[in-house]
């Protein structure tokens, strides 16, 4: 399979090149050259397939012959070594829990898939890749765990000192081996700025730098799997499905739209955001007007200029009416989010965290228009990852799951840096 850059100023590349480069040389995001529907027989018998079999059918055309079937099945099997439970929260409303992976964030799936693809491509070569990521919290932990001990890949994570939660910091800084955490004296935007500068720095070309956020196709594409898993569970209900994704960079929902292109019967998508409402505004006015991000309690979605928006536009043929037919987007304040967490708990005894609660709110609003449907909201993190807000809102004490417990006793190891020169010196050392 070939990929083209959405800026259309760079040559087409293979799956491997797109994964290794991350972003195209013209700074565009890569997009698959063709998208083929899966055969009807696949959907007819999906309930008889395992998650791993489903995932193979879904991703196969996007990898093509660049990874042999046996190895690709192995990568998928390692990627999906945990559950994706669908929990009934109310009549016709389900939470699809994506947080049962090693770092309890949905980004585990993409990070694990990408790391194993890179490892496959590097096998038997001297080549080394350096994955450089800036994180405001959740991405870094998933990438660190996903790439731990993967041969031929060094991972360098930049995070803003004092601005991530204790659990998140432990997940970033205690792994060692091929993972290095750099604690930046600054905010998330400073980290992001440094990473961007490093990608453009000719002196660092030999480091084969790549990114591991959802601009990378190997992080983005495997997120399609969740939507198929949910369909498999709910197919027997024989009702239209409405799916709400709590959205920040819009990678997850963009994968859902791609899943629909493959023939997955999803009636309608809802992109639920916090007050960073660039996309809800776009759907209303037709004008895309990115803004600097504002801080909220659902901080993994504090994004003012969602990087995958351009891919969504491409999927809808840059046609606003197409877009609106399939897709709604609503924005909610922290106050509404807290209220929702409380309400879900009181009514259903279900503990949602701020991102999932935003998803729930968007779903509820949309279901007013689709009363005979089944609604699903994605729960993208375990409540313990946002325990400060959840415990305060619900006045409960959350118990600490095993995955988290095991990192809390480990010793933090990080190096402090304050500017780009420090980062460069580190990368050159």
Question: Choosing from 37, 88, 107, 424, which is the catalytic residue?
Answer: 107
Of the CA atoms within 13 Å of residue 277, those in its CB half-sphere come to 16
Q: How far apart are CA 162 and CA 249, in angstroms?
A: 23
Identified binder of ligand PLP from the candidate list 97, 138, 302, 366, rule CB under 6 A: 138
> Binding to ligand PLP by residue 172, rule CB under 6 A?
no
Phi, psi of 333 (to 5 degrees): -85, 165
Task: Say which residues have a Cβ less than 8 Å from residue 289's Cβ, sequence separation at least 6.
Answer: 278, 281, 282
Rule CB under 6 A: which of 103-122 touch ligand PLP? Answer: 105, 107
Extract the tokens encoding 150: 């993967």
> Binding to ligand PLP by residue 329, rule CB under 6 A?
no
> Among residues 105 and 179, whose Cβ is nearest to ligand PLP?
105
Run of H or E residues at 379 = strand 374-379
Strands, sheet with 13-14, edge to edge from the N-terminal-most edge strand: 13-14, 2-5, 30-32
Residue span binding ligand PLP (CB under 6 A) among the ranges 111-119, 178-186, 249-257, 323-331 = 249-257
Beta strands in 118-246 (DSSP E): 129-134, 153-160, 179-184, 209-210, 241-246
> Binding to ligand PLP by residue 248, rule CB under 6 A?
yes
- Residue found by looking up tokens 């399979």 in the block: 1
Extract the tokens encoding 90: 């109310």
Report in angstroms how near the CB of residue 299 gets to ligand PLP at its nearest: 9
> Binding to ligand PLP by residue 384, rule CB under 6 A?
no
> Among residues 120 and 226, whose Cβ is nearest to ligand PLP?
226
Residue span binding ligand PLP (CB under 6 A) among the ranges 9-17, 19-27, 241-249, 395-403 = 241-249
By three-state DSSP, how is residue 360 classified? helix
Question: Is 2 in contact with 29 (CB distance < 8 Å)?
Answer: no
Nearest to 102 by CA among 152, 146, 52: 146
294 is annotated as an active-site residue: no
Rounded to the nearest 10 degrees, how much is the dihedral formed by the CA atoms of 104, 176, 23, 125?
Answer: -120
Identified binder of ligand PLP from the candidate list 131, 144, 164, 381, rule CB under 6 A: 381
> Binding to ligand PLP by residue 144, rule CB under 6 A?
no
> Among residues 86 and 119, whose Cβ is nearest to ligand PLP?
86
Report in angstroms how near the CB of residue 185 gets to ligand PLP at its nearest: 24
Q: By rule CB under 6 A, what string of x and - marks binding of each residue 336-365 to ligand PLP? A: -------------------x----------
Report in angstroms how near the CB of residue 251 gets to ligand PLP at its nearest: 3
Residue span binding ligand PLP (CB under 6 A) among the ranges 247-255, 316-324, 328-336, 360-368 = 247-255
> Among residues 122 and 168, whose Cβ is nearest to ligand PLP?
168
Question: Is 381 in contact with 106 (CB distance < 8 Å)?
Answer: yes
Report in angstroms how near the CB of residue 106 gets to ligand PLP at its nearest: 6
Q: How far apart are CA 352 and CA 259, in angstroms?
A: 26
Report in angstroms how near the CB of residue 200 gets to ligand PLP at its nearest: 23
Residue span binding ligand PLP (CB under 6 A) among the ranges 67-75, 248-256, 337-345, 389-397 = 248-256
Rule CB under 6 A: which of 261-320 touch ligand PLP? Answer: 300-301
Report in angstroms how near the CB of residue 427 gets to ligand PLP at its nearest: 25
Phi, psi of 94 (to 5 degrees): -125, 150
Q: Is 194 exposed, middle or buried (0-12, 13-18, 19+ CB in 10 A)?
A: buried
DSSP one-letter code for 297: S
Residue span binding ligand PLP (CB under 6 A) among the ranges 190-198, 244-252, 337-345, 408-416 = 244-252
Report in angstroms how near the CB of residue 384 gets to ligand PLP at its nearest: 12
Phi-psi region at 213: left, alpha or beta (left = phi > 0; alpha = psi -120 to 50): beta
Of the CA atoms within 13 Å of residue 250, those in its CB half-sphere come to 28
Report in angstroms how near the CB of residue 138 gets to ligand PLP at its nearest: 4
Site residue total, ligand PLP (CB under 6 A): 16
Enzyme catalytic residues: 107
Which residues here bind ligand PLP, judged by CB under 6 A?
105, 107, 138, 214, 246-252, 300-301, 355, 380-381
């Amino acid at each position: 399979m070939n990929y083209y850059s959405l800026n259309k100023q760079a040559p087409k590349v293979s799956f491997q090149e797109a994964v290794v480069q991350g972003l195209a040389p013209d700074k565009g995001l890569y997009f698959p050259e063709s998208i083929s529907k899966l055969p009807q027989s696949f959907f007819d018998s999906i309930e008889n397939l395992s998650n791993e079999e489903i995932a193979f059918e879904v991703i196969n055309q996007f990898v093509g012959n660049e990874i042999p079937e046996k190895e690709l099945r192995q990568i998928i099997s390692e990627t999906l070594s945990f559950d994706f439970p669908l929990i009934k929260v109310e009549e016709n409303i389900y939470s699809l829990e994506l947080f049962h992976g090693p770092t309890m964030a949905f980004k585990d799936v993409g990070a694990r898939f990408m790391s194993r693809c890179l490892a496959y491509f590097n096998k038997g070569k001297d080549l080394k890749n350096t994955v450089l990521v800036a994180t405001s919290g959740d991405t870094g932990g998933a990438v660190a765990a996903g790439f731990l001990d993967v041969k031929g890949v060094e991972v360098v994570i930049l995070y803003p000192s004092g601005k991530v939660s204790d659990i998140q910091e432990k997940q970033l800084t205690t792994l060692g081996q091929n993972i290095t955490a750099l604690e930046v004296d600054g905010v998330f935007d400073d980290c992001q700025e440094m990473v961007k500068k490093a990608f453009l720095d000719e002196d660092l070309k030999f480091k084969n730098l790549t990114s591991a956020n959802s601009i990378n196709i190997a992080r983005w594409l495997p997120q399609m799997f969740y939507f198929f898993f949910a369909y498999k569970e709910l197919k027997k209900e024989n009702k239209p499905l409405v799916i709400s994704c709590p959205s920040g960079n819009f990678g997850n929902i963009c994968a859902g739209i791609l899943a629909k292109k493959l023939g997955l019967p999803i009636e309608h998508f809802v992109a639920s955001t916090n007050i960073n409402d660039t996309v809800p505004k776009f759907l209303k006015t037709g004008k895309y007007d990115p803004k600097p991000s504002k801080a909220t309690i659902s901080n993994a979605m504090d994004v003012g200029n969602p990087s995958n928006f351009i891919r969504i536009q491409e999927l809808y043929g840059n046609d606003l009416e197409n877009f609106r037919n399939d897709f709604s987007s609503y924005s909610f304040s922290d106050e509404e989010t807290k209220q929702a967490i409380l309400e879900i708990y009181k009514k259903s005894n279900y503990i949602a965290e701020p991102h999932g609660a935003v998803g729930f709110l968007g779903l509820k609003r949309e279901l007013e228009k689709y009363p005979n449907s089944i609604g699903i909201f994605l729960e993208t993190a375990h409540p313990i990852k946002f325990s400060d807000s959840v415990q305060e809102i619900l006045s409960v004490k959350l118990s600490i799951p095993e995955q988290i417990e095991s990192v809390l006793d480990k010793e933090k190891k990080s190096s402090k840096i304050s500017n780009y020169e420090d980062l460069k010196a580190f990368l050159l050392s």
